[in-house]
Amino acid sequence: MKRNESTEGRSVRLLRVGEQVRHALSDILMRGEVHDEVLASHLVSVTEVRMSPDLRHATVFVKPLLGQDEETVLKALRTNTAYLQRTVATRVNTKYAAKLKFLADESFDEGSHIDSLLRAPKVAQDLAPSDEEE
């Protein structure tokens, strides 16, 4: 029997596995299973996990609560990568344990920047309804 797997099927699989890895990491960090002072003293949100097509690499986007000590938190996560990879591998049932790469999530900063641009007086005057339109 031939499996007919489209590119959409593979992308759904990547998304599903990425979500499983994200939930596993969030659970590990929330429960304080990593014995690290920095991670114990900071709340860290795992905002997204992007899996490579072969599921061997995972790019993990994180954001500390209120964006405080972002570099310190990233360094602590990178220091504990081996433990996190092993623990995630036991919770997410895949053929290979994904190598984790931690990056800061810049999407919140981008959103704030766009919001501040839209609220600027020069832009606001262009967005206001005009009386001349009929």
75: domain range? 7-105
pLDDT at 59: 94
Residues counted in the chain = 134
User: How many domains, the chain?
Assistant: 1
70 falls within a domain: yes
66-87 as b/e, with b when 16 or more CB fall inside 10 Å? eeeebeebbebbeebeeebeeb
Average pLDDT over residues 5-10: 49
Task: Tell me the three state secondary structure of residue 96.
Answer: coil
37 falls within a domain: yes
The residue that leads in pLDDT, 127 or 76, is 76
pLDDT tens per residue across span 67-120? 678 889 999 999 999 999 999 999 998 888 899 999 988 776 666 667 677 777
Task: Tell me the three state secondary structure of residue 45.
Answer: strand
Q: Which residue has the tokens 């429960």?
A: 31
Q: What does the alpha-carbon distance between residue 96 and residue 122 come to, in Å, rounded to a whole number?
A: 53
59 falls within a domain: yes
Read off the CATH number of the domain in which 34 is found: 3.30.300.20
Q: Are 44 and 80 in contact (CB under 8 A)?
A: no
55 falls within a domain: yes
pLDDT tens per residue across span 23-53? 999 999 998 888 888 888 888 889 999 999 9
pLDDT at 111: 66
